Structures are given as C-alpha cells and as structure tokens.
Amino acid sequence: MIPQPPSSAPPPPILDVRDVTVFRGDRLVLDGVSLSLFPGDAMILTGPNGAGKSTLLRTISGLRKPDGGTVDRQTEIAWLGHQDALKPGLTLTQNLALAAKLGKNQMNEVLEALDLAFLADLPARLLSSGQKRRAAFARVMLSGAELWLLDEPTVGLDVASIERLGAIMAEHRAKGGAMIVTTHVPLPLENTRSHELPSLANSEPLWLS
C-alpha cells in the first residue's frame, strides 16, 4: 500500500464565540450568539437597529462581560467604536502618540496610508468629520493587532476615503489579519462573510419570562 501524505488540519479560529447572551437591565440584547473567525476572514455584522451589533463587538473586545456563553480570543484585538476620541486642542500626532508608542506600526506609514500625513501638526478641532474618522482608524492600524473590530468605520467618509479604507482592509487580510465590521454602506471588500443578528426588541423582561 502506498502511504498517503498526512492531511493538513485546518487552522484553528482566532476568535470563537459560543452561545453568548447579554442582558441590558432586564432586556435580552443578545441571545445565544455563536460565530468563528479565521485568518483572512472579513465578517459583516448585520441586523436592524437595536439588534446588539455594537454590544456584540464590545463583548468580543472584552469591554463588557457576557451574561452567558464564552468568547475565546487567540490573538490581539484592535477596537474602533462610534467615538473618534480625539482631544480637540492636541495635534493629530499628539492624539495618536500613545497608540504609536504601544503599537507595532510606524506613525508616518499609517498617516500616509490614510492620506493624513499633511495634517499631522494640525489641531484635531480643525479636522473634518471624515478626517477625524480616519484619525480614529489610525489607532487600529498603529496597534498591529491581527483582529480588527470596527463599528461603523465609514461614518463621515467620502467615496474616495471608503475606497482607500477598503484597500487597507484587503492588505490586512492578505497578511493573515481578520475583521468584524458593522456598516450601513457597502464596503469594497471581496469574499466577505455575513452574520445577521435578529431583533430582540420585543423580548419580554427577564422577570416576566
């Protein structure tokens, strides 16, 4: 018998979410959510307003604990929330200095990639909404984290900036990175996966169940 070459096992997930349940007060927000993410994946998180998309990202990131289930992360995570978190009196580079110090990537390279280099010494209060959003995204890139959690990253961006962001995301995936994204506009990304969260707005309070 001719020996067969050993079959290569699939890579383990870098994120494994199992039966995650979250309550806000006495309201059920997430009910038994399960998903897995592998290197190179891009998952678009969908669902109606109030379905818990932001809550799920915050739970995965560790900003809040699930009330049930588990979140197993096997890699570093970078989080982009709704707030840009820029101090208006500081320059762009001053706002990003801590992220650059703690992260793995170079400030000048990140600013060039996001078309922000010419604004490096400008106070954040003078930036447009789109420029502020790109500045917030710069923190994600500076981190060098493998897994990106992006909550509405395109808010305030024009078409050209969205295309630029799409190219950055594609490059991140090509290097083995992965991401979960919530968005209300189409992203220029290929081979994405989708995970839809149902609305639980009509769920009964816990004390009535």
Domain 15-78+194-198 has CATH 3.40.50.300: yes
In the numeric block, the tokens 């909404």 are attached to 129
Cβ-Cβ contacts under 8 Å for 121 (sequence gap 6 or more): 91, 92, 93
Superfamily of chain region 83-185: P-loop containing nucleotide triphosphate hydrolases (3.40.50.300)
Phi-psi region of 151 (alpha: psi -120 to 50; beta: other; left: phi over 0): beta
pLDDT confidence of residue 11: 77
Strand 68-73: give its sheet, edge to edge. Answer: 27-37, 15-24, 68-73
At residue 206, the pLDDT reads: 44
Cα(81)–Cα(178) distance, rounded to whole angstroms? 17
CA–CA separation, 176 and 189 (whole Å)? 15
pLDDT, position 145: 97
15-78+194-198 and 83-185 share one fold:
yes
Mean pLDDT by 10 residues, the chain (209 residues): 61 94 93 96 92 94 95 95 94 97 96 97 96 97 97 94 96 96 91 89 47
Domain ranges of the chain: 15-78+194-198, 83-185
